[in-house]
């Protein structure tokens, strides 16, 4: 297996992975007219809210570790954490705008939303571990794909649009298409600046692959939960059937 030692090579591996992680069976159903409806957007938003809630937190944790000695990398982590802070509120805003939630975030309790699906819990768990153990550069592998995911978001936005979701209820997706383009450049610069050893590149690549696959599982789980909802077997999303 060829290992990346540049962001260009990392990008090639990312493209390859992106091709492999699509669940063809699910995709066909999603594209079958009438199979999915707007409720899948609500499920997507809630799971997105859950893992996004932790992004700034686990990013900041990298900066607090004794192993994080390079002051420039420490500052990069803190700045990036600051940039990410509160992005989960966009998912919440979109959920409200779509008519599925009405509580102000300042008053909201954890129990006001269904708890994360198993796949989402696993993604969150992995990101905390990747941020708090081993090579402090590891988490850059998550940022590498997460900040350029906008390149892959257009079809998703088009699909949600066809389900009747308004643009004004897509701030999370729209914002990440716009802002993250800039972030992607910063992440590339950071990787090229801080990754020095083959081990650094390997750890970043492994984190990219692992977090990407776990994110793909979250998308699968969103779809599966939607199917359960249709069948009436969802144990947490029935409140969407109002």
* Sole binder of its own copies in the list 6, 64, 197, 238 (CB under 8 A): 64
Nearest to 113 by CA among 171, 165, 42: 42
Helix (H, G, I), strand (E, B) or coil at 22: coil
* Residue 22 touching its own copies (CB under 8 A): no
Could you say which DSSP state residue 6 is in? S
The site string for its own copies over 169-208 (x = CB under 8 A, - otherwise) reads: -------------------------------------x--
With CB under 8 A as the contact rule, the residue among 32, 71, 102, 232 that binds its own copies is: 71
How many CA atoms lie less than 13 Å away from 75 in the CB half-sphere? 3
- 134 sits in the region (left: phi over 0; alpha: psi -120 to 50; else beta) called left
Cβ of residue 12: shortest distance to its own copies, in angstroms?
17
DSSP H stretches of helix in 98-170:
118-132, 140-146, 150-162
Q: What is the C-alpha to C-alpha distance for residues 205 and 172, in angstroms, rounded to an integer?
A: 26
Query: Which one, 30 or 86, has the nearer CB to its own copies?
Result: 86
Beta-carbon neighbour count of residue 144 at 10 Å? Answer: 26
User: Contact between 5 and its own copies (CB under 8 A)?
Assistant: no
Q: How far is the CB of 192 from its own copies (least distance, A)?
A: 18
Residue 66 touches its own copies, criterion: CB under 8 A: yes
- The interface region with its own copies, picked from 32-40, 50-58, 146-154, 180-188 by CB under 8 A, is 50-58
Binding flag, residue 103, its own copies (CB under 8 A): no
Taking CA atoms, 34 is separated from 30, 42, 69, in Å, by 9, 17, 54
Q: Applying CB under 8 A, which residues contact its own copies?
A: 1, 56-58, 60-61, 63-64, 66, 70-71, 74-75, 78-79, 81-82, 85-86, 89, 105-106, 118, 121-122, 124-126, 128-130, 133, 206, 209-210, 213-214, 233, 235
């Amino acid at each position: 297996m060829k290992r990346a030692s540049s962001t260009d090579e990392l990008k090639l591996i990312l493209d390859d992975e992106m091709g492999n992680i699509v669940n063809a069976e699910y995709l066909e159903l999603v594209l079958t007219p009438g199979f999915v409806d707007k409720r899948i957007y609500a499920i997507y938003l809630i799971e997105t809210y859950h893992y996004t809630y932790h992004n700034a937190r686990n990013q900041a944790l990298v900066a607090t570790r004794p192993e994080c000695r390079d002051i420039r990398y420490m500052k990069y982590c803190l700045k990036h954490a600051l940039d990410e802070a509160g992005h989960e509120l966009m998912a919440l805003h979109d959920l409200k705008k779509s008519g599925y939630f009405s509580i102000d975030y300042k008053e909201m309790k954890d129990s006001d939303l269904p708890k994360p699906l198993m796949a989402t819990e696993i993604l969150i768990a992995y990101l905390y571990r990747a941020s708090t153990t081993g090579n402090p550069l590891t988490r850059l592998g998550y940022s590498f794909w997460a900040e350029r995911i906008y390149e892959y978001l257009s079809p998703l936005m088009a699909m949600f649009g066809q389900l009747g979701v308004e643009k004004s209820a897509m701030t999370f997706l729209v914002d990440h298409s716009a802002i993250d383009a800039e972030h992607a450049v910063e992440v590339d610069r950071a990787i090229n600046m801080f990754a020095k050893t083959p081990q650094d590149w390997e750890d970043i690549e492994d984190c990219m692959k692992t977090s990407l696959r776990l994110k793909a599982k979250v998308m699968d789980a969103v779809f599966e939960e939607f199917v359960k909802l249709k069948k009436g077997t969802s144990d947490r999303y029935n409140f969407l059937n109002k």
